[in-house]
């Protein structure tokens, strides 16, 4: 897969060698950190016991490893180890939190509030509940990608049982005012769930300070393995109860049955510990690389803009629209760079991203968007290569675009009446 290419950085004299293809889609998934893999390996070979086997050493070793991971994850987010329930990943955690609360608190009410820009794991779960007689309010977001706290206050009524709003958006990297949202929920006696998959390990997250009652976590966005995640469930002030969605041997304090994925859980724990130790330095470095990429693009191209607020944003995220260029053609032009156009989880469709549409962007702008996810293993040389390649590709594609030419001549495209082709 890898071939080495030499890219010359824009100052002309320094050249750095970069391996192609370059991976810059770290919001979709991340490579497993070698330190995480090292922690996991013994649990495939020598320590292969079932964590639920209570009567021999193999089981005890596995259980010990699981409990250590629980501590590592809890420490990263300011929770206690007993509040962590292991799942197969964020989609399951979202489903368990939302359906689990909906079922458990059905007698109290049937109203759930979420945002239009949530991940599909939340939106589709809410749509399923609507079919079962629940009411769901989908809050709009502003052009900056943020929900309005006033809208939220107005939406809560005496039948509201849950508010579910993500910590950081997977496409535009925007950080919601989570602590304020949680405070409003607690004042109104409503539970607050946050899908914090993109935020954990990248920005400081603390379930107590952030007033979070339930929170979804996954390993593969923080340099851990795929197929393992966790759900934080608050034990006091308030004590949260959820109805299990998978029944069996009553594992995970009755909330999620199934043999635990011990190597995966060990990997999630190790990934959390590494993130905790490296976060301050890593966030600074990622923000520096992101800002460098943004500046190079803005200095060399016109008609480009950033989607979502830059002020409240993940350090490694840049979502930009290159107007008058089709996103798909742009991706083909930079086929040695892994980035995404539209949403990672639904990129099989050519519909413009629903997140960008929710920001009020037109189809043309939404279609021309690229999401850069800069991560732990990206280098400055890669950022230079990506910027140069993009600038070059966008310029070439615009030379072929009659629309871009018209705009440069000062024609207002909105005022043009396009003639239908005659038959």
| Positions marked active-site | 345
CB atoms within 10 A of CB 358: 22
Task: Identify the burial level of 120 via C-beta atoms within 10 angstroms of its C-beta, where 0-12 means exposed, 13-18 middle and 19 or more buried.
Answer: middle
Q: Which residue has the tokens 């207002």?
A: 412
- Residues 6 or more apart from 149 whose CB is under 8 A from it? 177, 180, 181, 184
**β-strand partners of 111:** 135, 160
What would the two tokens of residue 37 be? 């893999």
CB atoms within 10 A of CB 151: 15
Q: What is the rounded CA–CA span in Å between residue 359 and residue 172? A: 10
């Amino acid at each position: 897969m890898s071939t080495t290419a030499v890219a010359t950085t824009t100052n002309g004299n320094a050249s750095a060698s970069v391996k192609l293809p370059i991976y810059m889609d770290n919001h979709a998934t991340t490579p497993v950190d070698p330190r995480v893999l090292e922690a996991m390996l013994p649990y495939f070979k020598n320590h292969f016991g079932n964590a639920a086997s209570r009567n021999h050493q193999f089981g005890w070793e596995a259980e010990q490893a699981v409990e250590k991971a629980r501590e590592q994850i809890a420490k990263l987010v300011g929770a206690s180890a007993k509040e962590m329930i292991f799942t197969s990943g964020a989609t399951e955690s979202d489903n368990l939190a939302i359906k689990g609360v909906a079922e458990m608190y059905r007698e109290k009410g049937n109203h759930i509030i979420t945002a239009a820009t949530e991940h599909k794991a939340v939106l589709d779960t809410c749509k399923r509940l609507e079919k079962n007689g629940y009411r769901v309010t989908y809050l709009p977001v502003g052009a900056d990608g943020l929900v309005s706290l006033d809208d939220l206050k107005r939406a809560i009524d005496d039948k509201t049982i849950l508010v579910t709003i993500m910590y950081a958006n997977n496409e535009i990297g925007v950080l919601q005012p989570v602590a304020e949202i949680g405070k409003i929920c607690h004042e109104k006696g409503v539970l607050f769930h946050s899908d914090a998959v993109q935020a954990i390990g990248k920005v400081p997250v603390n379930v107590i300070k952030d007033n979070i009652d339930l929170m979804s976590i996954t390993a593969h966005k923080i340099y851990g393995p795929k197929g393992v995640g966790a759900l934080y469930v608050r034990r006091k002030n308030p004590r949260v109860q959820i109805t299990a969605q998978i029944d069996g041997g009553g594992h995970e304090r009755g909330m999620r049955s199934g043999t635990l994925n011990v190597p995966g859980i060990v990997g999630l724990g190790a990934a959390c510990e590494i993130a905790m130790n490296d976060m301050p330095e890593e966030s600074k470095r990622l923000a520096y690389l992101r800002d460098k990429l943004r500046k190079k693009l803005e200095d060399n191209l016109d008609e480009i803009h950033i989607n979502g607020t830059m002020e409240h944003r993940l350090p490694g995220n840049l979502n930009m629209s290159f107007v008058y260029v089709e996103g798909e053609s742009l991706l083909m032009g930079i086929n040695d760079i892994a980035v995404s156009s539209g949403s990672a989880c639904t990129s099989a469709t050519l519909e413009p991203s629903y997140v960008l549409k929710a920001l009020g962007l037109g189809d043309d702008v939404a279609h021309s968007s690229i999401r850069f996810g800069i991560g732990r293993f990206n280098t400055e040389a890669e950022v230079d290569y990506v910027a140069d390649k993009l600038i070059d590709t966008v310029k070439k594609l615009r030379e072929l675009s009659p629309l871009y030419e018209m705009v440069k001549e000062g024609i207002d495209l909105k005022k043009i009446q396009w003639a239908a082709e005659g038959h």
